[in-house]
Amino acid sequence: MKAAVFTRYGGPEVVSILEQPKPAVGPKDVLIRTHATTVNSGDSRIRGMRVPAGFVPMVRLMFGIFGPRRSSQVLGSSLAGEIVEVGEAVSHYEVGQRVVASMPKSTGAHAQFVSLPEDGAIATVPDGVRMEDAASVLFGGHTAQYFLEELGSIQSGEKVLVNGASGSVGAALVQFAVYHGATVTCVCSGKNAALVRELGAAQVIDYTEVNFLDTCAPGDYDKVVDCVGNLNWHDVRNGLSAQGMFLMVIADFWPTLRAGFSTKSKGQRCLTGTSNPSAKDLRRLMDMLNAGLLTPLIDSTYSLTEIQQAHARVDTERKRGNVVVTMKTAA
């Protein structure tokens, strides 16, 4: 099979399309032919070893000190595809089903085939939903679920600010917050204002013209979610309500370490973490997508053979939503 492989850290040029062994299928595994996947900010950071300050040693230990170890050489955290083979002990899935899946170690989806345990993070794709759309909501969607629902316990009527609202995660956060009945303020460039308003934003702050921190008054927001990594707790907390939360989707090592201790007597909290989607999470995303409660936002679409261009697009940090990669031309 063909896969997008990188054997050294660096720019988009380090990713090549190579022949790889087709994955084995165990008794309780399903083999999925990938139809669509995405290149997200996490893929870009790992490939270029451009991770938040303080995390480089930890990330190198996870993925490879001097270069990516063999088990990490194919990036890609999630996919949409079709089951083409099932193990003899599989009972929940059958050949021909369209599914989405999240990879156990957030790598391996940029390949024509993946093999996963049937009790892993897999969910069926509803009839009528395009594979590209299904793949595009996974990374941002489950991240939004985790930060707003698990960590943030979002409530109807709350005031939420999303910093970096036009990317994959930011756009999903806007939609989840609106879904829960929150009033959403978005920080993004002026050219993306119409986009986030269409997603449900009540107010847009153009960061190229004004620093939103200069506009904050005490109690303005119940949740501030940072998808960019350019905010800090000490500045943000002044604009939070008494029980407000600062949710850091991305942060340097020391702010992350301090997050658990950054509380005030008033009850304000600074929180961060890592989302690990379950099959239940993916089923919910597919249900929301099918019901029109979650809008797929696709910035651009590339074939597997154009994987370098897909990485380059993500590296610009100017994408709107998701960069999708399809397997259509990967013979």
Predicted confidence (pLDDT) per residue in 131-186, tens digit: 999 999 999 999 999 999 999 999 999 999 999 999 999 999 999 999 999 999 99
C-beta separation of 193 from 209 below 8 A:
no
For the cut 80, the answer to whether the pLDDT of residue 260 exceeds it is no
pLDDT tens digits, one per residue of 93-109: 999 999 999 999 889 99
The angle formed by the CA atoms of residues 104, 109 and 115, to the nearest 5 degrees, is: 65
Percent of the chain exceeding pLDDT 90 equals 80
Mean pLDDT of 189-198: 96
d(CA 81, CA 68) in angstroms, rounded, equals 26
| pTM of the predicted structure, to 2 decimals | 0.93
Which helix (H) or strand (E) covers residue 301, if one does? strand 298-303
Classified as helix, coil or strand, 249 is: coil
d(CA 223, CA 162) in angstroms, rounded, equals 8
C-beta separation of 315 from 15 below 8 A:
no
Alpha-helix residue ranges (DSSP H) falling in the chain:
41-48, 56-63, 131-136, 138-144, 168-179, 193-198, 233-236, 253-259, 279-290, 307-315
* CA-to-CA dists, residue 11 to 15, 16, 47, 50, 186, angstroms: 8, 12, 7, 10, 30
Least confident among 60-74, 121-135, 151-165, 197-211? 60-74
pLDDT tens digits, one per residue of 69-97: 988 999 999 999 999 999 999 999 999 99
For the cut 80, the answer to whether the pLDDT of residue 296 exceeds it is yes
The token pair at 53 is: 């300050």
Mean pLDDT of 260-285: 82
Mean predicted lDDT score pLDDT of the chain: 93
Mean pLDDT of 257-278: 75
Could you please report the per-residue DSSP string of 138-166?
HHHHHHHIIIIIIIT---TT-EEEEESTT
Quote the pLDDT of residue 266. Answer: 54
For the cut 60, the answer to whether the pLDDT of residue 285 exceeds it is yes
pLDDT tens digits, one per residue of 1-20: 999 999 999 999 999 999 99
pLDDT category at 261 given cuts 50, 70, 90 is: low
Quote the pLDDT of residue 20. Answer: 96
For the cut 80, the answer to whether the pLDDT of residue 264 exceeds it is no
Quote the pLDDT of residue 301. Answer: 98
Using CA atoms of 132, 91, 141, 36 in order, give the dihedral in degrees to the nearest 10: -20
pLDDT tens digits, one per residue of 317-331: 999 999 999 997 444
- Structural domains in the chain, CATH included, are 2-137+296-326 (3.90.180.10), 139-272 (3.40.50.720)
* CA-to-CA dists, residue 117 to 24, 82, 85, angstroms: 11, 15, 12
- Cβ neighbors of 133 (< 8 A, separation 6 or more) are 289, 296, 298
Quote the pLDDT of residue 262. Answer: 57
